[in-house]
Amino acid sequence: MIEFYPKTIYYPREAVEEKLAKGELQSTEKQLFGFALRHREEIEALAKEDESNPSDETLLDNLRAYILSMGSLNPAADMGNMLREISNEVWFQNEKKEISPKQVTEEWKEMYAAKWREARIFESFILIEHCAKELVAVLRQNESAK
| Cα-Cα end-to-end distance for the chain | 28
CA 120/CA 123 separation, integer angstroms: 5
By residue count, the chain amounts to: 146
Query: Is the model's pLDDT at 98 over the cut of 90?
Result: no
Q: What is the pLDDT of residues 121-132, one digit of tens each?
A: 999 999 999 999
* Residue closest to 126 by CA, chosen among 46, 52, 67, 56: 67
pLDDT of residue 7: 84
User: What is the rounded average pLDDT for all residues in the chain?
Assistant: 91
Q: In whole angstroms, what separates CA 144 from the centre of its chain?
A: 27
User: Residue range 98-127: average pLDDT?
Assistant: 92
Give this prediction's pTM. 0.86
